[in-house]
Structure 1
């Protein structure tokens, strides 16, 4: 799915960049151009960044996340 229309950046590209070490919106902007034009993608890109960082962190530590039903 396209997250940044202005620079044709997809969610997969953002996830891949975070997996490769991007830790901030500034780094994503430098690497992919996210939120460098109109900025409308910034909230979604930031949410994806945080989610991907959390996933990356759980993969590094080997933690297992189990979701419990409400």
Structure 2
């Protein structure tokens, strides 16, 4: 599933960044070599990161 249209980031990429230690959307995006542009994706990215942290 596409998380960020502006950067073409997929859910599995955000999950992988979270597994690698990114604990915020901004850190996950930086780990993936980009940054949030319009911001509409940030709440969804946070949900993904929180679910990965809860599962760890």
Q: TM-score, normalised by structure 1?
A: 0.69
- DSSP-derived class of the 1:46 partner: helix
Structure having greater relative contact order (Cα 8 Å, sep ≥ 6)? 2
- Listed as ranges, the gaps of 5+ residues in structure 2 are none
Return 5+ residue gaps in structure 1 as ranges.
57-70
Corresponding residue of 1:4: 4
Aligned to 1:45: 45
Q: Larger C-alpha radius of gyration, 1 or 2?
A: 1
Shift of 1:30: 1.1
